[in-house]
């Protein structure tokens, strides 16, 4: 009986100490994780918004190619909705309640918050440029340029999707799945960046650039100037996402 009483007293003291210390220990761990993850959630939301917008603008370009008229009107509707919601998501990440809370909590000068602001600003510059792009009355020449836009957008989508896959692993759920997500994420980031770079170094791109450069006072048409700017902004976004503190290439 004495041994049983001693065991009960020991267990009572053990669990009392455990419940007193454990919340503090877990709070310290979660503080370290949440500090970066709460900011990375802004990055993930912006990436999601960018993907929605790029899906929309690509659908709009395809519908304006007039290869079939059966679904063009419906495609335009989906495209506009995707572009609208995509922009809203990025703007929400930059100025929404969660952003304000993080600033109030002292994260305004955190390196990842600075990255978030740079990333969001560059994304919005790209969105504004794409929104202004002329798509009506496509000719054979402009069709080729718009095909470049489709590929540039696809490359950037891959980068954003890969980036979100990598950041998802920071939640630390299942090691085997996290490892797969991280590996596949970096593959998508690298291949997306390569696709964007390949377009700007392609023979077709250089041919149009050379032709445009020899015509007109400005040296290049508005559409090709927009294409070049889109490529530059896409590469900048890809570089920002690559250098974020989310692992390493």
pLDDT in 10s for each residue of the chain, 249 residues: 555 455 555 545 544 544 443 333 323 333 345 667 778 888 999 999 999 999 999 998 888 777 666 676 777 888 999 999 999 999 999 987 777 777 787 777 888 888 889 999 999 999 999 998 877 656 777 788 888 999 999 999 999 999 999 998 887 778 889 999 999 999 999 999 999 999 999 988 888 777 765 444 445 567 888 888 999 999 999 999 998 755 444
The pTM of this model reads 0.78
Tokens of 65: 């190619």
Please identify which residue in the block is written with the tokens 């930059």: 94
DSSP codes of every residue in 46-64: HHHHHHHHHHHHHHHHHHH
Residues in the chain: 249
Gyration radius from the chain CA atoms: 25
């Amino acid at each position: 009986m004495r041994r049983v009483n001693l065991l009960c007293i020991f267990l009572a003291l053990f669990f009392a100490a455990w419940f007193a210390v454990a919340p503090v220990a877990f709070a310290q761990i979660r503080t370290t994780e949440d500090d970066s993850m709460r900011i990375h959630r802004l990055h993930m939301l912006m990436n999601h918004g960018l993907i929605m917008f790029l899906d929309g603008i690509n659908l709009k370009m395809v519908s304006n190619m007039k290869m079939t008229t059966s679904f063009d009107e419906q495609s335009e509707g989906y495209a506009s909705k995707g572009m609208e919601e995509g922009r809203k998501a990025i703007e929400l990440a930059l100025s929404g309640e969660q952003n304000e809370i993080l600033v109030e909590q002292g994260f305004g000068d955190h390196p990842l918050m600075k990255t978030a602001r740079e990333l969001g600003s560059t994304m919005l510059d790209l969105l504004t440029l794409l929104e202004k792009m002329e798509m009506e009355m496509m000719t054979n020449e402009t069709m080729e340029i718009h095909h470049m836009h489709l590929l540039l957008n696809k490359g950037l989508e891959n980068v954003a999707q890969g980036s979100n896959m990598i950041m998802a692993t920071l939640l630390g759920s299942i090691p085997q799945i996290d490892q797969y997500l991280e590996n596949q994420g970096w593959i998508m980031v690298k291949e997306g960046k390569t696709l964007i770079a390949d377009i700007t170094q392609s023979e077709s791109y250089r041919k149009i650039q050379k032709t445009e450069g020899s015509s007109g006072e400005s040296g290049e048409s508005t559409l090709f100037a927009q294409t070049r700017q889109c490529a530059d902004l896409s590469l900048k976004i890809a570089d920002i996402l690559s250098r974020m503190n989310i692992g390493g290439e």
